[in-house]
Amino acid sequence: MCRDTLVWHTARNGLFSVRSAYNLAQQIDENNSAKSSSGGGPSHWDFIWKARVPNRVKNFCWKICKEAVPVTNNLVKRRVLIEDLCSVCKMNGETLRHAFLECPYTRFLWALSDLP
């Protein structure tokens, strides 16, 4: 009967070290980033880039996902502006959600459109 022993399989000598744990974490991170950007089935990026809409619409959707639309909240984060109040209603901070869904003026425009 053999005694059980602990073995750290990522190290050549079988012993745990901070270096071997760091190297394992780097490998896991590289594998996860490779899967999220290319493999692993369809992603929201595939949906955006393969949509049958003009390229400017695809680019705008990409900017929304990356929070790269210049609403005041993002401009304050980048230190372009000091205050993040909505430039239209002057009531709330202008986030992407506020600018496209919650602002009273935006709600009014959505109500005028034929979209559901």
pLDDT at 104 (0 to 100): 93
Q: What DSSP string runs through 76-112? A: HHTTS-S--B-TTTSSSB--HHIIIIISHHHHHHHHH
Domain boundaries, the chain: 1-41, 44-112
Specify the pLDDT at position 103: 92
pLDDT at 80: 86
The pLDDT assigned to 5 comes to 72
Q: For the whole prediction, is pTM greater than 0.85?
A: no
What stretches in the chain show pLDDT beneath 70?
1, 32-43, 115-116
pLDDT of residue 42: 57
- Between the alpha carbon of residue 97 and those of residues 31, 62, 64, 89, the distances in Å are 32, 15, 10, 14
